[in-house]
Amino acid sequence: MSILARYASRLPPVREEFHCTLGEGGTPLIESRALGRQLGLKKLFFKCEHQNPTGSYKDRFVALELSLLRQAGARVVIGHSSGNNGSSLAAYAARYGIACHLFVCERTPSGKFLQMRAHGAKVYRVKDFCVARESTEEIMLLLETTAKRLGTATVVSAFSSSPQGMCGVKTLSYEIAEQMQPSHVFVPGGACGLYVGVARGFLETKSCPRVHLVQPELNDTVVTPLREGLNRARTLNTITRISGLVAPEIYDGHDAIEVARATKGSGFLVSDEDAWHWQRELLTKEGLWVEPAGAVSVAGLVAAVREGVVKSDETVVCVLSGHGFKDPASAVMAFEGEEPMIAVADIPKVLGL
Protein backbone atom coordinates (compact mmCIF):
# COMPACT_ATOMS: atom_id res chain seq x y z
CA MET A 1 0.00 0.00 0.00
CA SER A 2 1.37 3.44 -0.92
CA ILE A 3 2.10 5.99 1.79
CA LEU A 4 -0.64 8.20 0.33
CA ALA A 5 -3.22 5.48 0.84
CA ARG A 6 -1.87 4.21 4.15
CA TYR A 7 -1.65 7.62 5.82
CA ALA A 8 -4.33 9.48 3.88
CA SER A 9 -5.96 10.89 7.02
CA ARG A 10 -2.66 12.47 8.12
CA LEU A 11 -1.50 13.93 4.80
CA PRO A 12 -2.78 16.72 2.51
CA PRO A 13 -5.80 15.38 0.57
CA VAL A 14 -5.23 13.95 -2.91
CA ARG A 15 -7.96 12.21 -4.90
CA GLU A 16 -7.09 8.57 -5.53
CA GLU A 17 -6.95 8.93 -9.32
CA PHE A 18 -4.01 11.32 -8.93
CA HIS A 19 -1.99 9.18 -6.50
CA CYS A 20 1.62 8.64 -7.63
CA THR A 21 3.54 5.67 -6.29
CA LEU A 22 6.48 3.41 -7.02
CA GLY A 23 6.06 1.47 -3.79
CA GLU A 24 7.79 3.99 -1.54
CA GLY A 25 7.79 3.69 2.23
CA GLY A 26 7.68 0.58 4.38
CA THR A 27 11.48 0.54 4.54
CA PRO A 28 13.08 -1.89 6.99
CA LEU A 29 14.17 -0.99 10.49
CA ILE A 30 17.01 -3.38 11.19
CA GLU A 31 19.08 -3.96 14.29
CA SER A 32 22.83 -3.44 14.28
CA ARG A 33 24.93 -6.58 14.62
CA ALA A 34 28.34 -4.95 14.98
CA LEU A 35 28.43 -1.17 15.32
CA GLY A 36 26.12 -1.13 18.33
CA ARG A 37 28.53 -3.35 20.28
CA GLN A 38 31.45 -1.31 18.99
CA LEU A 39 29.86 1.85 20.42
CA GLY A 40 28.73 0.21 23.66
CA LEU A 41 25.03 0.37 22.74
CA LYS A 42 22.60 -2.48 23.36
CA LYS A 43 19.79 -1.35 21.05
CA LEU A 44 20.94 0.38 17.87
CA PHE A 45 18.73 0.26 14.77
CA PHE A 46 19.02 1.57 11.22
CA LYS A 47 16.05 2.97 9.30
CA CYS A 48 17.01 1.92 5.79
CA GLU A 49 15.64 4.71 3.62
CA HIS A 50 18.14 3.77 0.93
CA GLN A 51 15.78 0.88 0.13
CA ASN A 52 13.11 3.17 -1.30
CA PRO A 53 12.39 2.73 -5.05
CA THR A 54 14.95 5.26 -6.32
CA GLY A 55 17.33 4.76 -3.41
CA SER A 56 16.50 7.60 -1.03
CA TYR A 57 13.91 9.03 1.35
CA LYS A 58 13.08 11.66 -1.29
CA ASP A 59 10.57 9.20 -2.77
CA ARG A 60 8.26 9.90 0.18
CA PHE A 61 8.30 13.60 -0.71
CA VAL A 62 8.04 13.23 -4.48
CA ALA A 63 5.18 10.71 -4.31
CA LEU A 64 3.04 13.27 -2.50
CA GLU A 65 4.31 16.41 -4.24
CA LEU A 66 3.81 15.02 -7.75
CA SER A 67 0.36 13.73 -6.78
CA LEU A 68 -0.60 17.23 -5.65
CA LEU A 69 0.78 18.77 -8.85
CA ARG A 70 -1.08 16.26 -11.04
CA GLN A 71 -4.26 17.04 -9.16
CA ALA A 72 -3.64 20.74 -9.89
CA GLY A 73 -3.27 19.98 -13.62
CA ALA A 74 0.50 20.30 -14.04
CA ARG A 75 1.97 18.67 -17.16
CA VAL A 76 5.58 19.69 -16.62
CA VAL A 77 7.77 19.88 -13.53
CA ILE A 78 10.96 21.78 -12.82
CA GLY A 79 13.30 20.74 -10.05
CA HIS A 80 16.63 21.84 -8.66
CA SER A 81 18.65 19.35 -6.72
CA SER A 82 21.99 18.20 -5.40
CA GLY A 83 21.03 14.76 -6.70
CA ASN A 84 18.52 12.59 -4.87
CA ASN A 85 15.52 14.87 -5.29
CA GLY A 86 16.20 15.00 -9.03
CA SER A 87 16.61 11.24 -9.29
CA SER A 88 13.31 10.65 -7.56
CA LEU A 89 11.44 13.30 -9.52
CA ALA A 90 12.78 11.94 -12.82
CA ALA A 91 11.54 8.42 -12.03
CA TYR A 92 8.06 9.39 -10.84
CA ALA A 93 7.61 11.89 -13.70
CA ALA A 94 8.55 9.16 -16.19
CA ARG A 95 5.97 6.78 -14.74
CA TYR A 96 3.17 9.35 -14.95
CA GLY A 97 4.06 10.92 -18.29
CA ILE A 98 5.08 14.33 -17.02
CA ALA A 99 7.86 16.33 -18.69
CA CYS A 100 10.74 16.85 -16.27
CA HIS A 101 13.49 19.49 -16.32
CA LEU A 102 16.20 19.28 -13.68
CA PHE A 103 18.89 21.79 -12.77
CA VAL A 104 21.55 20.24 -10.57
CA CYS A 105 24.55 21.29 -8.54
CA GLU A 106 27.94 21.71 -10.11
CA ARG A 107 29.28 18.83 -7.97
CA THR A 108 26.36 16.38 -8.29
CA PRO A 109 27.91 12.87 -8.47
CA SER A 110 27.86 11.10 -11.81
CA GLY A 111 25.75 8.24 -10.40
CA LYS A 112 22.89 10.58 -9.53
CA PHE A 113 23.25 12.49 -12.80
CA LEU A 114 23.06 9.24 -14.76
CA GLN A 115 20.00 8.08 -12.80
CA MET A 116 18.13 11.27 -13.72
CA ARG A 117 19.01 11.07 -17.40
CA ALA A 118 18.22 7.35 -17.57
CA HIS A 119 14.58 8.11 -16.71
CA GLY A 120 14.36 10.57 -19.59
CA ALA A 121 14.57 13.86 -17.70
CA LYS A 122 16.29 16.87 -19.22
CA VAL A 123 19.19 17.46 -16.84
CA TYR A 124 21.57 20.42 -16.67
CA ARG A 125 24.55 21.08 -14.41
CA VAL A 126 24.65 24.71 -13.32
CA LYS A 127 27.96 26.41 -12.56
CA ASP A 128 28.36 27.51 -8.91
CA PHE A 129 24.94 26.10 -7.95
CA CYS A 130 24.89 24.77 -4.35
CA VAL A 131 28.42 26.10 -3.83
CA ALA A 132 28.39 29.89 -3.96
CA ARG A 133 25.53 31.38 -1.95
CA GLU A 134 24.89 34.38 -4.22
CA SER A 135 24.74 32.26 -7.38
CA THR A 136 22.47 29.73 -5.67
CA GLU A 137 20.01 32.45 -4.68
CA GLU A 138 19.95 33.83 -8.23
CA ILE A 139 19.38 30.40 -9.79
CA MET A 140 16.59 29.48 -7.39
CA LEU A 141 14.75 32.75 -8.03
CA LEU A 142 15.05 32.36 -11.79
CA LEU A 143 13.70 28.80 -11.69
CA GLU A 144 10.76 29.77 -9.47
CA THR A 145 9.81 32.60 -11.84
CA THR A 146 10.10 30.34 -14.87
CA ALA A 147 7.99 27.62 -13.26
CA LYS A 148 5.17 30.08 -12.57
CA ARG A 149 5.18 31.15 -16.22
CA LEU A 150 4.75 27.48 -17.20
CA GLY A 151 1.87 26.97 -14.76
CA THR A 152 3.76 24.62 -12.48
CA ALA A 153 6.08 24.77 -9.46
CA THR A 154 9.70 24.10 -8.69
CA VAL A 155 9.91 20.79 -6.87
CA VAL A 156 12.34 21.31 -4.00
CA SER A 157 12.60 19.01 -0.99
CA ALA A 158 12.21 21.75 1.60
CA PHE A 159 9.21 22.81 3.67
CA SER A 160 10.04 26.41 2.79
CA SER A 161 9.36 25.63 -0.89
CA SER A 162 7.03 22.61 -0.95
CA PRO A 163 5.29 22.51 2.45
CA GLN A 164 2.50 20.13 1.50
CA GLY A 165 4.61 17.62 -0.41
CA MET A 166 7.21 17.51 2.34
CA CYS A 167 4.56 16.15 4.69
CA GLY A 168 5.28 12.85 2.98
CA VAL A 169 8.58 12.72 4.87
CA LYS A 170 6.70 12.53 8.16
CA THR A 171 5.57 9.00 7.22
CA LEU A 172 9.11 7.84 8.01
CA SER A 173 8.50 8.71 11.66
CA TYR A 174 5.02 7.20 11.65
CA GLU A 175 6.55 3.88 10.56
CA ILE A 176 9.22 3.87 13.24
CA ALA A 177 6.68 4.79 15.93
CA GLU A 178 4.50 1.85 14.88
CA GLN A 179 7.39 -0.54 15.54
CA MET A 180 9.12 0.89 18.62
CA GLN A 181 9.57 3.88 20.90
CA PRO A 182 13.18 5.00 20.47
CA SER A 183 14.88 7.32 22.92
CA HIS A 184 17.07 8.98 20.29
CA VAL A 185 16.87 9.40 16.51
CA PHE A 186 19.82 10.74 14.51
CA VAL A 187 19.12 12.44 11.18
CA PRO A 188 21.57 13.84 8.60
CA GLY A 189 20.97 17.42 7.52
CA GLY A 190 21.99 19.78 4.74
CA ALA A 191 18.98 21.90 3.83
CA CYS A 192 17.34 20.16 6.83
CA GLY A 193 14.02 19.20 5.19
CA LEU A 194 14.50 15.56 6.20
CA TYR A 195 15.26 16.57 9.77
CA VAL A 196 12.24 18.86 10.07
CA GLY A 197 9.95 16.21 8.54
CA VAL A 198 11.18 13.47 10.87
CA ALA A 199 10.92 15.69 13.96
CA ARG A 200 7.44 16.93 13.07
CA GLY A 201 6.32 13.38 12.38
CA PHE A 202 7.45 12.23 15.81
CA LEU A 203 5.85 15.24 17.48
CA GLU A 204 2.53 13.92 16.19
CA THR A 205 3.05 10.53 17.85
CA LYS A 206 2.32 9.54 21.44
CA SER A 207 5.93 9.28 22.53
CA CYS A 208 8.43 11.65 20.90
CA PRO A 209 12.13 10.72 21.08
CA ARG A 210 14.96 13.22 21.13
CA VAL A 211 15.59 13.94 17.45
CA HIS A 212 19.18 15.00 16.79
CA LEU A 213 20.51 16.84 13.75
CA VAL A 214 23.89 15.93 12.25
CA GLN A 215 25.61 18.20 9.73
CA PRO A 216 29.02 18.25 8.04
CA GLU A 217 31.18 20.80 9.81
CA LEU A 218 31.82 22.35 6.36
CA ASN A 219 28.08 23.00 5.94
CA ASP A 220 27.34 24.21 9.46
CA THR A 221 24.22 26.28 8.80
CA VAL A 222 22.21 25.07 11.81
CA VAL A 223 24.16 23.05 14.37
CA THR A 224 26.33 25.82 15.83
CA PRO A 225 23.44 28.32 16.07
CA LEU A 226 21.35 25.58 17.74
CA ARG A 227 24.05 24.71 20.26
CA GLU A 228 24.72 28.37 21.00
CA GLY A 229 21.07 28.96 21.89
CA LEU A 230 20.25 31.05 18.82
CA ASN A 231 16.91 30.91 16.98
CA ARG A 232 18.11 31.60 13.44
CA ALA A 233 20.16 29.50 11.04
CA ARG A 234 22.89 31.08 8.93
CA THR A 235 24.01 31.05 5.30
CA LEU A 236 27.53 30.25 4.11
CA ASN A 237 29.57 29.18 1.13
CA THR A 238 29.81 25.44 1.69
CA ILE A 239 32.88 23.40 0.80
CA THR A 240 31.78 20.01 2.10
CA ARG A 241 32.31 17.14 -0.32
CA ILE A 242 29.38 15.15 1.11
CA SER A 243 26.92 15.07 -1.77
CA GLY A 244 23.33 15.59 -0.67
CA LEU A 245 24.28 17.78 2.28
CA VAL A 246 25.56 20.70 0.23
CA ALA A 247 23.16 23.52 1.08
CA PRO A 248 24.51 27.06 1.50
CA GLU A 249 21.03 28.58 1.84
CA ILE A 250 18.78 28.68 4.93
CA TYR A 251 16.02 26.49 3.41
CA ASP A 252 14.47 24.82 6.51
CA GLY A 253 17.22 25.89 8.90
CA HIS A 254 15.10 28.16 11.10
CA ASP A 255 12.42 25.47 11.42
CA ALA A 256 15.12 22.89 12.22
CA ILE A 257 16.18 24.87 15.28
CA GLU A 258 12.55 25.17 16.39
CA VAL A 259 11.75 21.45 16.12
CA ALA A 260 15.09 20.48 17.68
CA ARG A 261 14.10 22.40 20.78
CA ALA A 262 10.58 20.93 20.68
CA THR A 263 11.97 17.37 20.66
CA LYS A 264 14.79 18.17 23.09
CA GLY A 265 17.22 17.27 20.33
CA SER A 266 20.76 18.52 19.93
CA GLY A 267 23.08 19.10 17.00
CA PHE A 268 26.36 17.43 16.09
CA LEU A 269 29.04 18.33 13.57
CA VAL A 270 31.14 15.72 11.80
CA SER A 271 33.99 15.95 9.32
CA ASP A 272 33.79 14.72 5.75
CA GLU A 273 36.39 12.12 6.73
CA ASP A 274 34.10 10.91 9.55
CA ALA A 275 31.32 10.33 7.04
CA TRP A 276 33.57 8.30 4.75
CA HIS A 277 34.90 6.29 7.70
CA TRP A 278 31.45 5.30 8.93
CA GLN A 279 30.29 4.62 5.39
CA ARG A 280 33.11 2.08 5.24
CA GLU A 281 32.17 0.62 8.64
CA LEU A 282 28.55 0.18 7.53
CA LEU A 283 29.74 -1.52 4.35
CA THR A 284 32.14 -3.96 5.96
CA LYS A 285 30.47 -4.64 9.32
CA GLU A 286 26.74 -4.29 8.68
CA GLY A 287 26.46 -5.09 4.98
CA LEU A 288 24.77 -1.74 4.33
CA TRP A 289 25.85 0.35 1.36
CA VAL A 290 24.76 3.93 1.91
CA GLU A 291 26.14 7.13 0.46
CA PRO A 292 28.27 9.29 2.78
CA ALA A 293 25.28 11.56 3.52
CA GLY A 294 23.48 8.57 5.04
CA ALA A 295 26.52 7.58 7.10
CA VAL A 296 26.57 11.08 8.61
CA SER A 297 23.82 10.02 11.04
CA VAL A 298 26.06 7.27 12.42
CA ALA A 299 29.01 9.65 12.67
CA GLY A 300 26.77 11.98 14.68
CA LEU A 301 25.76 9.16 16.98
CA VAL A 302 29.45 8.48 17.66
CA ALA A 303 29.90 12.12 18.66
CA ALA A 304 26.83 11.93 20.93
CA VAL A 305 28.14 8.79 22.63
CA ARG A 306 31.45 10.54 23.17
CA GLU A 307 29.62 13.47 24.81
CA GLY A 308 27.58 11.17 27.04
CA VAL A 309 24.26 12.18 25.45
CA VAL A 310 23.25 8.56 24.75
CA LYS A 311 23.16 5.88 27.44
CA SER A 312 24.12 2.30 26.66
CA ASP A 313 20.66 0.84 27.36
CA GLU A 314 18.67 3.42 25.38
CA THR A 315 17.07 2.58 22.03
CA VAL A 316 18.67 4.50 19.17
CA VAL A 317 17.71 4.84 15.50
CA CYS A 318 20.00 6.21 12.80
CA VAL A 319 18.32 7.27 9.56
CA LEU A 320 20.27 6.03 6.52
CA SER A 321 19.01 8.43 3.88
CA GLY A 322 20.43 7.34 0.50
CA HIS A 323 21.95 4.36 -1.31
CA GLY A 324 25.65 4.06 -2.04
CA PHE A 325 25.09 3.36 -5.73
CA LYS A 326 24.26 7.05 -6.11
CA ASP A 327 27.84 8.04 -5.28
CA PRO A 328 30.04 5.07 -6.20
CA ALA A 329 33.21 7.14 -6.17
CA SER A 330 32.88 7.51 -2.41
CA ALA A 331 33.07 3.75 -1.95
CA VAL A 332 36.10 3.55 -4.23
CA MET A 333 37.90 5.95 -1.88
CA ALA A 334 37.32 3.51 0.98
CA PHE A 335 39.57 0.86 -0.53
CA GLU A 336 43.12 1.36 -1.72
CA GLY A 337 45.02 -0.48 -4.41
CA GLU A 338 44.08 -2.15 -7.66
CA GLU A 339 41.77 -5.11 -8.03
CA PRO A 340 43.85 -8.25 -7.36
CA MET A 341 44.56 -10.57 -10.28
CA ILE A 342 45.69 -14.15 -9.51
CA ALA A 343 46.44 -17.31 -11.43
CA VAL A 344 44.22 -20.37 -11.15
CA ALA A 345 46.96 -22.18 -9.25
CA ASP A 346 46.91 -19.50 -6.56
CA ILE A 347 43.23 -20.06 -5.59
CA PRO A 348 43.97 -22.61 -2.80
CA LYS A 349 46.73 -20.35 -1.49
CA VAL A 350 44.54 -17.23 -1.13
CA LEU A 351 41.94 -19.37 0.67
CA GLY A 352 44.56 -20.45 3.17
CA LEU A 353 44.67 -24.07 2.04
Give pLDDT tens digits for 238-275: 788 898 888 777 899 999 999 999 999 999 999 999 99
**CA gap 327, 346 in Å, rounded:** 34
Cα 143–chain centre separation: 22
Residue that is last in its domain, among 120, 155, 190? 155
348 or 273, which is more confident? 273
Instruction: Give percent of the chain with pLDDT exceeding 90.
Output: 73
Q: Are residues 194 and 263 in the same domain?
A: yes
Q: Are residues 213 and 277 in the same domain?
A: yes
Give the range among 145-154, 187-196, 259-268, 291-300 with minimum mean pLDDT.
145-154
Q: Are residues 90 and 47 in the same domain?
A: no
Q: Which helix (H) or strand (E) holds 125?
A: strand 122-125
Helix (H, G, I), strand (E, B) or coil at 48: strand
Q: Is residue 347 in a domain? A: no
Assign residue 151 the CATH number of its domain: 3.40.50.1100
**CA gap 258, 255 in Å, rounded:** 5
Q: Which helix (H) or strand (E) holds 80?
A: strand 76-81
Give the range among 159-168, 190-199, 201-210, 238-247 with minimum mean pLDDT.
238-247
Q: What is the pLDDT of residue 333?
A: 65
Q: Is residue 349 in a domain? A: no
Query: Where does the pLDDT of residue 295 fall: very low under 50, low under 70, confident under 90, or very high at 90 and above?
Result: very high
**CA gap 262, 200 in Å, rounded:** 9
**CA gap 142, 123 in Å, rounded:** 16
Q: Is residue 265 in a domain? A: yes
Among residues 50, 80, 66, which one has the least CA distance to residue 2? 66
Q: Are residues 43 and 67 in the same domain?
A: no
Q: What is the pLDDT of residue 335?
A: 62
Q: Are residues 144 and 252 in the same domain?
A: no
Helix (H, G, I), strand (E, B) or coil at 30: strand
Q: Are residues 16 and 81 in the same domain?
A: no
Q: Are residues 180 and 148 in the same domain?
A: no
Domain encompassing residue 180: 3-56+164-332
Q: For 75, how many CA atoms within 13 A lie in the half-sphere containing its CB?
A: 2
Q: What is the pLDDT of residue 353?
A: 83
Residue 212 has pLDDT above 90, yes or no: yes
Q: What is the pLDDT of residues 71-95, one digit of tens each?
A: 999 999 998 887 899 999 999 999 9
Q: Is residue 198 in a domain? A: yes
The average pLDDT across 92-110 equals 90
Q: Is residue 344 in a domain? A: no
Q: Are residues 298 and 222 in the same domain?
A: yes
Q: What is the pLDDT of residue 132?
A: 65
Give the range among 69-73, 83-87, 293-297, 337-341 with minimum mean pLDDT.
337-341
Q: Are residues 14 and 94 in the same domain?
A: no
Q: Are residues 51 and 182 in the same domain?
A: yes
Mean pLDDT of the chain: 92
Residue 148 has pLDDT above 90, yes or no: no
Q: Are residues 245 and 325 in the same domain?
A: yes
Say if CB 20 and CB 66 are below 8 A apart. yes
Overall domain count for the chain: 2
Q: Are residues 194 and 254 in the same domain?
A: yes
Q: Is residue 340 in a domain? A: no
The average pLDDT across 130-138 equals 72
**CA gap 228, 84 in Å, rounded:** 31
Give the range among 104-113, 128-137, 165-174 with minimum mean pLDDT.
128-137
Q: Is residue 115 in a domain? A: yes
Cα 70–chain centre separation: 24
Query: Where does the pLDDT of residue 326 fall: very low under 50, low under 70, confident under 90, or very high at 90 and above?
Result: confident
Say if CB 61 and CB 168 are below 8 A apart. yes
Any residues with CB less than 8 A from the CB of 292 and at least 6 apart, and which? 242, 243, 244, 272, 275, 276, 279, 327, 330
160 or 130, which is more confident? 160
31 or 138, which is more confident? 31
